[in-house]
C-alpha cells in the first residue's frame, strides 16, 4: 500500500510539473512559418470591432524603441509606456542609440527583456520591426554577421539569399522582432546614388528580383514578416532622401523594365509589406511636391490596383527631410496625407503626438472615412494574428543561448563574404601578397613585446570617413596576423592632409602597398555623394601617382570607386565594410581563398556587370592556418 501511494504521489508530482512546463511554454512565441488561421482571422475581426477610434488610430503608427537596459522609471521607458497608454501605439521599430559616428549596438538579452516588458505593458500584442538589412548584427552584438546586399549579388547564389533570410528570421524571432524592413528591391542603376548603392543586390532587375524572392522565401520559413523597399524604386537617384528631395527622372517604359520588375517578383513571392519612398517620380505624378509617400497615383493606383498588392503598405520613416520639408509648418499633416494616399502604417513620424492628433481630427471630420481606417487596422491585426501573437506574445529569454549566434550560421556569413570578393584588375605583380614577399618579414613576437626590426616592406593605408569608427579594425588585425611588422596607417578626411608626408614616405619605401577604402551609404552622411572626400581622395591619387604598379586597391564598400581613379592597376571589391568582408578581403589578398565573385553592377569606364577575374586558392591550408594563429 505504501509503495502504491508513493508511486501515485510521484505520478501526480510529475504530471503537475509537466503541466506547469507546458503552460510555461504556451506563453512564449513558437518559431515556425507565418500562417493566418481562421481562428486568427476571427480574432482580428473581433478585436477591430472592440477598439475605440483612438485605439484604432494608435494601431496605424509605429514609433522608435531603442534597445538597451531601461529601469521601469527611466524617462525613456516612461515615454514608451505613455505611447502605449495615451496614444495606443500598436507597433515599435527597434533600433539602438547612436553617438556621432558610433552605432551603440546592444546585447540580445537586453533587447529581448525590453521587448518582453513592453509586450506585457500593452493592452494588445505589439508588432516589433527592425531594419536588419545585414542581419541582426546591424543592431545587436553576438549575432550572425552578414555583408551588405550587394555582396550577395557578387556571390550570385539565390540559395544563399534564402538562407540569409532564414537565419535572420530565426535570430530576430528569438529576441522578439517579428518584421524586417528588408529586402531591398531597388535596382542600383545610377553609380552616383548616395543612399542605395551596396544596399541593393545590383543593377540587373532579374537578378535583384530573384534574390529578393529567395530572401522572402527563407524569411517566411523562419517566421518573419518581410518588407520590400523603396517603392517605386530608389536606385536611379542622386540624392539622399534622408537629407533632401530625391527624384527618379525616367519615363514609364524605364520604370516598367528596370524599377518595377523586382517589386512584381516580390509581390508574387508573397511579400508581406511594401515600403514607399520619399522620392518624386514625374512620369507617374508630375506634381513636384508629391513624393511617392503622399501620392495616391503611386500608392493606390500603381501599387494596389495595377500591381495588385493586398498586403501592408508602410511609409518610409516620416521624419526624413525628403518629406518633412513639405510640411514644415504643419508636421502632423504628413501622416494624414500619407494615409490618404493609401499607406496603412505610418512609420516614425517627426512629431508623434502632433501626427496622432492630426489623424484623429481627420477621421472625426470625415476627411478620412472610418471604413478606410478600419481596412488598414484590420491588415495590421491580421499580421499580428499570422504570427500567433494573440496567443503568445513573449519570447523565452533563456532560449537565446541556443538560437542566436550559432557557429554554423557565423561560418555561413563569412562564407558569403568570401564568395563575394571580386577581382576586377590585376597587373600580375602584387597578388597574392604572400608570394610577393619572397624574403618574408619579421617573425611575430610574444604579446606585449616589441618587434625589433620593423620595415616598410608592406604598407596598408586604411581610408575611412572617421578613424574613430570600427572601419579597418578587423582588416588590420587579420593583416598583421599574416605580416606582423606591416605598417598600417589609418586616414580620414580630417587628418589626411596632415598625414600625407608620413603616408607618402612609407609608400615610397614599401615593396607592396594596400589601400583599403571604406565608403558605404549612411543616412547621416553629409552631402549627396559616395565619392571620397577631397582630402582622402587627393591622398589616394598621390599614392597611385607614385606607386600604382605596386598598389592593390580594395573597395570596402562602394564598388564604383575605381571610376574616379583610372590609374588603379590592381582592384578588388567586397561590396561591404562588414567585419566578415574585411576578413574575406585579407584572405583573398593573400591567396588563401579562391576568388570567384563577379560584379553585380557596371563600373563606368572600368568593367561591365558580370566581370571578375577568377583565381584558385594559391596558399596551402597549413600556411593559412599558421598565418591566422
Q: Where are the domains of the chain?
A: 30-403, 421-628
- pLDDT at 76 > cutoff 90: yes
CATH of domain 421-628: 3.40.50.1700
Q: How many residues does the chain have?
A: 629
Q: How far, in whole angstroms, is CA 553 from its chain's centroid?
A: 25
pLDDT in tens, 278-315: 999 999 999 988 999 999 999 999 999 999 999 999 99
Q: How far apart are the C-alpha atoms of 81 and 129, rounded to whole Å?
A: 17
**Least confident segment among 310-314, 342-346, 482-486, 624-628:** 624-628
For the sheet containing 346-347, what is the strand order? Answer: 312-315, 273-276, 225-231, 179-180, 127-130, 91-95, 61-66, 346-347
pLDDT of residue 25: 53
289 secondary structure, DSSP code? T
Q: How far apart are the C-alpha atoms of 517 and 515, rounded to whole Å?
A: 6
pLDDT in tens, 270-280: 999 999 999 99
pLDDT in tens, 521-563: 865 554 545 678 889 999 999 999 999 999 999 999 999 999 9
Q: Is 155 a catalytic residue?
A: no
Q: Which CATH architecture has domain 30-403?
A: Alpha-Beta Barrel (3.20)
Grid coordinates standing for 454? 620593423
Q: How far apart are the C-alpha atoms of 173 and 224, rounded to whole Å?
A: 7
pLDDT of residue 622: 44
pLDDT of residue 34: 87
- pLDDT at 18 > cutoff 80: no
Confidence of residue 576 (pLDDT cuts 50, 70, 90): very high
Distances in Å between the Cα of 263 and the Cα atoms of 143, 190, 274, 308, 344 are 29, 18, 8, 11, 18
**Nearest CA among 392, 396, 394 for reference residue 117:** 394
Distances in Å between the Cα of 394 and the Cα atoms of 55, 126, 173, 360, 381 are 22, 10, 10, 30, 17
More confident residue, 610 or 245: 610
299 secondary structure, DSSP code? I
DSSP string of 423-491? EEE--SSS-SHHHH-TT--PPPPPTT---S---SSEEEEEE-S-TTSSTTHHHHHHHHHH-TT-EEEEE
Task: Please tell me which residue in 316, 465, 485, 492 is annotated as part of the active site.
Answer: 316
More confident residue, 460 or 438: 460
**Nearest CA among 562, 564, 566 for reference residue 599:** 562
Q: Side-chain half-sphere of 457: how many Cα atoms within 13 Å?
A: 17
- pLDDT at 394 > cutoff 70: yes
- pLDDT at 391 > cutoff 60: yes
Burial of 6 (0-12, 13-18, 19+ CB in 10 A): exposed
Grid coordinates standing for 1? 500500500
- Interstrand relation of 91-95 and 422-425 (parallel, antiparallel or unpaired): unpaired
Query: Average model confidence (pLDDT) for the chain?
Result: 90
**Least confident segment among 4-8, 229-233, 475-479:** 4-8
Distances in Å between the Cα of 539 and the Cα atoms of 427, 496, 576 are 22, 7, 22
pLDDT in tens, 476-508: 999 999 999 999 999 999 999 999 999 999 999
Question: Mean of the pLDDT values across residues 412-429?
Answer: 98
Q: How far apart are the C-alpha atoms of 232 and 235, rounded to whole Å?
A: 10
Task: Please tell me which residue in 88, 178, 242, 598 is annotated as part of the active site.
Answer: 242
Q: Is 242 a catalytic residue?
A: yes
CB of 405 closer than 8 Å to CB of 146: no
More confident residue, 170 or 322: 170
**Nearest CA among 92, 144, 96 for reference residue 121:** 92
- pLDDT at 1 > cutoff 70: no
- pLDDT at 243 > cutoff 70: no
pLDDT in tens, 81-139: 999 999 999 999 999 998 876 788 999 999 999 999 999 999 999 999 999 999 999 99
Confidence of residue 623 (pLDDT cuts 50, 70, 90): very low
- pLDDT at 43 > cutoff 70: yes
Predicted model pTM: 0.91
Amino acid at each position: 500500500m505504501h509503495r502504491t501511494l508513493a508511486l501515485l504521489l510521484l505520478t501526480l508530482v510529475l504530471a503537475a510539473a509537466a503541466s506547469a512546463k507546458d503552460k510555461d511554454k504556451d506563453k512564449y512565441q513558437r518559431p515556425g512559418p507565418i500562417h493566418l488561421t481562421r481562428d486568427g482571422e476571427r480574432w482580428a475581426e473581433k478585436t477591430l470591432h472592440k477598439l475605440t477610434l483612438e485605439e484604432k488610430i494608435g494601431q496605424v503608427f509605429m514609433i522608435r524603441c531603442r534597445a538597451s537596459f531601461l529601469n521601469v522609471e527611466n524617462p525613456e521607458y516612461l515615454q514608451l509606456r505613455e505611447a502605449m497608454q495615451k496614444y495606443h501605439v500598436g507597433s515599435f521599430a527597434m533600433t539602438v542609440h547612436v553617438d556621432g559616428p558610433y552605432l551603440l549596438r546592444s546585447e540580445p538579452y537586453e533587447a529581448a527583456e525590453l521587448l518582453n516588458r513592453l509586450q506585457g505593458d500593452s493592452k494588445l500584442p505589439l508588432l516589433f520591426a527592425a531594419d536588419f538589412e545585414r542581419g541582426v548584427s546591424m543592431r545587436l552584438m553576438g549575432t550572425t554577421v552578414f555583408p551588405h546586399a550587394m555582396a550577395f549579388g557578387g556571390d550570385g547564389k539565390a540559395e544563399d539569399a534564402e538562407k540569409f533570410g532564414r537565419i535572420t528570421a530565426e535570430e530576430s524571432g528569438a529576441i522578439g522582432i517579428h518584421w524586417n524592413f528588408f529586402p531591398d528591391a531597388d535596382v542600383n542603376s545610377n553609380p552616383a546614388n548616395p543612399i542605395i548603392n551596396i544596399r541593393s543586390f545590383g543593377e540587373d532587375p532579374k537578378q535583384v528580383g530573384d534574390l529578393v524572392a529567395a530572401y522572402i522565401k527563407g524569411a517566411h520559413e523562419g517566421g518573419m514578416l518581410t518588407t520590400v523597399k523603396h517603392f517605386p524604386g530608389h536606385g536611379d537617384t542622386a540624392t539622399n532622401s534622408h537629407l533632401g528631395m530625391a527624384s527618379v527622372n525616367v519615363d514609364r517604359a524605364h520604370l516598367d523594365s528596370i524599377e518595377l520588375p523586382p517589386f512584381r517578383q516580390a509581390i508574387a513571392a508573397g511579400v508581406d509589406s511594401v515600403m514607399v519612398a520619399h522620392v518624386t517620380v514625374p512620369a507617374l505624378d508630375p506634381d513636384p511636391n508629391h513624393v511617392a509617400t503622399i501620392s495616391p497615383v503611386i500608392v493606390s493606383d500603381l501599387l494596389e490596383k495595377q500591381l495588385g498588392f493586398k498586403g501592408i503598405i508602410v511609409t518610409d520613416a516620416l521624419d526624413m527631410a525628403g518629406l518633412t520639408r513639405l510640411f514644415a509648418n504643419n508636421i502632423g499633416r504628413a501622416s494624414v496625407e500619407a494615409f490618404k494616399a493609401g499607406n496603412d502604417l505610418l512609420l516614425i513620424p517627426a512629431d508623434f503626438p502632433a501626427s496622432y492628433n492630426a489623424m484623429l481630427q481627420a477621421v472625426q471630420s470625415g476627411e478620412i472615412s472610418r471604413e478606410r481606417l478600419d481596412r488598414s487596422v484590420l491588415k495590421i491585426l491580421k499580421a499580428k494574428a499570422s504570427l500567433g501573437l494573440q496567443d503568445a506574445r513573449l519570447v523565452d529569454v533563456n532560449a537565446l543561448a541556443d538560437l542566436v549566434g550559432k557557429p554554423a550560421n557565423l561560418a555561413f556569413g563569412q562564407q558569403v563574404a568570401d564568395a563575394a570578393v571580386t577581382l576586377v584588375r590585376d597587373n600580375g605583380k602584387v597578388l597574392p601578397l604572400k608570394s610577393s614577399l619572397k624574403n618574408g618579414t619579421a617573425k611575430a613576437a610574444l604579446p606585449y613585446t616589441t618587434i625589433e626590426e620593423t620595415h616598410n616592406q608592406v604598407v596598408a593605408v586604411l581610408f575611412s570617413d572617421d578613424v574613430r569608427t570600427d572601419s579597418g579594425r578587423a582588416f588590420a588585425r587579420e593583416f598583421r596576423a599574416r605580416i606582423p611588422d606591416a605598417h598600417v596607417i589609418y586616414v580620414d578626411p580630417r587628418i589626411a592632409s596632415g598625414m600625407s608626408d608620413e603616408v607618402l614616405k612609407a609608400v615610397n619605401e614599401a615593396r607592396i602597398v594596400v589601400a583599403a577604402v571604406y565608403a558605404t551609404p549612411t543616412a547621416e552622411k553629409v552631402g549627396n555623394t559616395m565619392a571620397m572626400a577631397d582630402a582622402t581622395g587627393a591622398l589616394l591619387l598621390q599614392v597611385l601617382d607614385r606607386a600604382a604598379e605596386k598598389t592593390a586597391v580594395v573597395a570596402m564598400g562602394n564598388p564604383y570607386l575605381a571610376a574616379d581613379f583610372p590609374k588603379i592597376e590592381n582592384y578588388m571589391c567586397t561590396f561591404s565594410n562588414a567585419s566578415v568582408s574585411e576578413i574575406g578581403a585579407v584572405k583573398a589578398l593573400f591567396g588563401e581563398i579562391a576568388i570567384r565573385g563577379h560584379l553585380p553592377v557596371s563600373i563606368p569606364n572600368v568593367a561591365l556587370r558580370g566581370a571578375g577575374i577568377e583565381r584558385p586558392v594559391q596558399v596551402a591550408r597549413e600556411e593559412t592556418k599558421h598565418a591566422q594563429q
